[in-house]
Amino acid sequence: MEKIAISTVAQEIGSYPIAELIEKRARLEREGVKTYNFAPGDDALPVSPLILNALRNSLPPTSFYPLVRGTEELQEAISNYLSRRFSVTVPKNGILPVTGSKEGIYHLPSLLIDHTSTRRKVLGPALAYPPYIKGTIAVNGEYLGLRGPDEAPYHFELADVPPETLKDTALAYLNFPHNPTGVGCSLEYLQRQLQVAQEYGFLLVSDECYADVYFGDSPPPSLLELTQEGVLVFHSLSKRSGVTGYRSGFVAGDPEYIDGYARLRNSIGTALPEPIALASTVAWNDDEHVRERREVFSEVRKRAIKFFNELSLEFLTTEATFYLWGKALEGLSGNEYADALQKKGIFVSPASFFGEGFDEWFRISLVLSLEKTEEAFSLWREVHNELKQKRR
Ligand SMILES: Cc1ncc(COP(=O)(O)O)c(C=O)c1O
């Protein structure tokens, strides 16, 4: 039988690098190799009992289709969170739950771009969380990865993009604190990007899902502190509360876009399931478990920094996310270094997972316990020293 082929768009979107790593890791474990997974943005800390209990007690005796806009209580909890965290007042019609910010981001371009659109360009970081690109490809849009100058490669300026491109732009993504590097940005930086977006009338989207995973004394800012008009921000409980499996986040900002997106999402079928909405309400209302998580990450981070220094591995000094952005042993690409570690069961993400042009770099997710991290580092040291010997 001659079957219909998978579409070229689906082929271009392809698989997901981390998904492929999961398969490789399962294969190694079946062969009896002990593995250490520093690849995903998925931490191994236990879920806060507060959230667990809320979920346990949330099962309704009857069940109905959930509403796209979520429950009143959830909207209120999110609005209160934004007020506590960023001192902004966002009305309920400016808030929309998403079943994880990944799907919210992936589906967003379809709100603004269709096959007849003249403005079909999407701007964003060259080194990017893949759904910015994949969601753009899905609507036949064109993603342009931006890079800053060599002294600040992760801080591109929209003002440096040619006006002809800006005129054809539908939306631009900012992502600070940045995955995969952990770099942050100032409110002034956000202001400069906002000015360009407003001048050219495209939607400015700020993915702020790591806003609560920080280590210094200055919590990362939100684009909402500048305006709610013509902007959307994404937040997630995945990183804030370590509940990646619940699939819970929200998008907030311009009520006109939120309203349009809510209507569209009625057809997508991605309303937050009722028990998850209840547990999420509790999670957004509590800051203590988030602070405790930061303390744990901070300890593991200190240990990793010490280890990188011991091996003389270059890394970026950043103050947010649970990632460390490291440079491979001299003479090796991030891919080669990651492959060598992988053979011994240690999984990290080479820069090529996130884009082109940063070939020597790799990301390590500090998501394992201190004990497991320590164990992995002993093995890592051996691999590193063997590679060093070979290169002599
Ligand atoms: C930059 C960025 N945005 C969004 C997400 C999506 O998170 P979730 O779909 O779990 O909310 C991730 C996850 O790794 C991320 O790194």
Q: Residue 281's domain is classified under what CATH number?
A: 3.40.640.10
Same domain, 203 and 308: no
CB 238, CB 293: distance < 8 Å = no
Give the whole-angstrom CA distance, residue 133 versus residue 141.
9
Within a domain: 2: no
Tokens linked to 378: 């002993």
Q: What separation in Å is there between the alpha carbon of 284 and the centre of ligand 1?
A: 17
Within a domain: 190: yes
Q: Of all atoms in ligand 1, which is nearest to the CA of residue 237?
A: 11
Q: What separation in Å is there between the alpha carbon of 102 and the centre of ligand 1?
A: 5
Same domain, 253 and 293: no
**Residue that is last in its domain, among 257, 286, 315:** 286
Burial of 47 (0-12, 13-18, 19+ CB in 10 A): middle
In single-letter form, the type of residue at position 21 comes to: L
In this predicted structure, what is the pLDDT of residue 83? Answer: 98
Burial of 113 (0-12, 13-18, 19+ CB in 10 A): buried
Q: Which residues face 363 on adjacent strands?
A: 325, 349
b vs e for 117-137, b when ≥16 Cβ sit within 10 Å of the residue's Cβ? eebbbbbbbbbbbbbbbbbbb
Q: What separation in Å is there between the alpha carbon of 209 and the centre of ligand 1?
A: 6
Tokens linked to 382: 């051996």
Q: What separation in Å is there between the alpha carbon of 388 and the centre of ligand 1?
A: 35
Mutate to test the pocket of ligand 1, among 18, 98, 102 (most ligand atoms within 8 A of CB): 102
Q: What separation in Å is there between the alpha carbon of 93 and the centre of ligand 1?
A: 23
Within a domain: 3: no
In this predicted structure, what is the pLDDT of residue 116? Answer: 86
Within a domain: 55: yes
Same domain, 203 and 348: no
List the alpha helices (DSSP H) in 14-88: 17-30, 49-56, 72-86
Within a domain: 1: no
What CATH number is associated with residue 382? 3.90.1150.10
Same domain, 73 and 206: yes
Same domain, 265 and 123: yes
pLDDT tens for the chain, 392 residues: list them. 999 999 999 998 987 777 778 888 888 889 888 999 999 888 889 999 999 999 999 888 899 899 999 999 999 999 999 999 999 999 999 999 999 999 999 999 999 998 888 999 999 999 999 999 999 999 999 999 999 999 899 999 999 999 999 999 999 999 999 999 999 999 999 999 999 999 999 999 999 999 999 998 889 999 999 999 999 999 999 999 999 999 999 999 999 999 999 999 999 989 999 999 999 999 999 999 999 999 999 999 999 999 999 999 999 999 999 999 999 999 999 999 999 999 999 999 999 999 999 999 999 999 999 999 999 999 999 999 999 988 77
Q: Of all atoms in ligand 1, which is nearest to the CA of residue 175?
A: 1
List Cβ neighbours of 367 (8 Å cut-off, separation of 6 or more). 37, 38, 40, 41, 42, 43, 44, 322
Please state, in angstroms and as integers, the Cα–Cα distance from residue 4 to each residue in 1, 9, 139, following that order. 10, 14, 21
Same domain, 23 and 86: no
In this predicted structure, what is the pLDDT of residue 341? Answer: 95
Same domain, 72 and 208: yes
Q: Which domain holds residue 378?
A: 8-47+289-391
Within a domain: 377: yes
Same domain, 152 and 294: no
Same domain, 361 and 349: yes
**Residue that is last in its domain, among 252, 286, 320:** 286
CB 362, CB 350: distance < 8 Å = yes
Within a domain: 163: yes
Same domain, 40 and 115: no
**Residue that is last in its domain, among 231, 265, 286:** 286
Domains: count for the chain = 2
Give the whole-angstrom CA distance, residue 97 versus residue 327.
37
Report DSSP letters for 84-108, one per residue. Answer: HHH-----GGGEEEESSHHHHHHHT
Same domain, 275 and 307: no
- What is the sign, positive or negative, of the torsion defined by CA atoms of 124, 126, 127, 129? positive
Q: What separation in Å is there between the alpha carbon of 163 and the centre of ligand 1?
A: 30
DSSP E strands, the chain:
36-37, 95-98, 121-125, 142-146, 169-174, 203-207, 231-236, 249-253, 323-327, 346-347, 349-350, 361-365
Instruction: Give pTM, 2 decimals.
Output: 0.96
Give the whole-angstrom CA distance, residue 392 versus residue 379.
21
* Pocket residues: Cβ below 6 A from ligand 1: 41, 100-102, 129, 175, 179, 207, 209, 236, 238, 244, 249
Same domain, 210 and 334: no
CB 135, CB 142: distance < 8 Å = no
Hey, what long-range contacts does 6-14 have (CB within 8 A, 24 or more apart)? 9/137, 9/138, 9/140, 12/137, 13/134, 13/137, 13/138
CB neighbourhood size of 328 (10 A): 25
What SS3 state is found at 361? strand
In this predicted structure, what is the pLDDT of residue 23? Answer: 85
Triad 140, 192, 225: Cα angle to 5°: 95
